[in-house]
Amino acid sequence: MSKKSFGIILTALLTVSGSAFADTFYFAAPPPGGVAWEGVYVNPYTANETSPLTINGLTIYCDDWDTEFSGNPTWNATVLAVTPGNVSNFKFGGATTTQSVSLLGTVGSYSLQYGTPVSTTAYDLYLEAVYLDQTMQGLGSNAQTQQEELSAAEWMLFTSSGASSLLSDINASGSAFADDVYTYLGDAHTALVSHDINPAGWSVITPVDNTFPMQEFLVDDSPGTLNGPNVPEPSAVILLGTVVGLLGWTKFRRRQA
């Protein structure tokens, strides 16, 4: 086998080996979160994985305000690392703009307002979501208000002005709340521009069920317990075996020659 032929086969194998298999999740106990704001539970939530592994007590962070569900459903999802190559598989992987927001008023009477949409990449939005979730990880006890504000800021990344009630709910929560959400969004963008966001270990749990709507979540998979960045997919294992086999076959042919 020539080097050129081997390269063509390897390229083809790499092209078809990127699919992920589905995991099954359910919330550890209803309600999914412990803190409620404007009629919804805010981050973080607690969930269990039931297939292909059994993992209890996962801390997950919702990035999806506009999708509603009820009860304590079990849902299927793919789990993929936050990398540029995986973004197209995420729920908001096709995003090319985000809503800009401005802070109006004076001290004690602030409110948020949508501005002109800003061009961006979906990967940048997910990096900012990772930053906000990492900030939430650093909160101490009795930080309910900060949980609400950070959750609202993360949801703002992926909402649209025409479809979402999020902005009005933020403003209904008071001037200080709107000011803090604006600050958190600014901090996330500053960290992005400064390349201070490290997504290593973070994955996205993207729903694949078509029978009912389900939200998308981020998870810190640093231990590599999920089928995410630190666990090779079956297709990758098959690819490795195939490549090793091809290398062995090539050496055998050379010896015969």
Q: How much is the pLDDT for 243?
A: 32
Q: How much is the pLDDT for 30?
A: 75
- Angstrom distance (rounded) from CA 1 to CA 251: 9
- Angstrom distance (rounded) from CA 16 to CA 68: 34
State mean pLDDT over 115-134.
Answer: 95
Q: How much is the pLDDT for 52?
A: 86
- 247: pLDDT strictly greater than 80: no
Per-residue model confidence as pLDDT tens digits over 213-225: 899 999 999 888 8
Sign for the CA dihedral angle at 221, 42, 149, 111 comes to positive
CA dist 123 → 49, 68, 154, 220, 228 (Å): 25, 24, 14, 17, 17
Confidence of residue 20 (pLDDT cuts 50, 70, 90): low
Q: How much is the pLDDT for 152?
A: 96
Q: Mark 119-145 as b/e (b = at least 16 C-beta within 10 Å).
A: ebebbbbbbbbbbbbbbbeeeeeeeee
Confidence of residue 33 (pLDDT cuts 50, 70, 90): confident
What average pLDDT is seen over the chain?
81
∠ CA(117), CA(119), CA(123), 5° rounding? Answer: 120
- 160: pLDDT strictly greater than 60: yes
State mean pLDDT over 88-106.
Answer: 91
Phi, psi of 204 (to 5 degrees): -115, 130
- Listed by start position, the domains of the chain span 3-17+242-256, 22-220
Per-residue model confidence as pLDDT tens digits over 173-228: 999 999 999 999 999 999 999 999 999 999 999 999 767 889 999 999 988 888 64
- 257: pLDDT strictly greater than 70: no
184 CB-near residues (< 8 Å, 6+ apart): 132, 135, 149, 150, 153
- DSSP annotation of 32: S
Q: How far is CA 80 from the centre of its chain?
A: 9
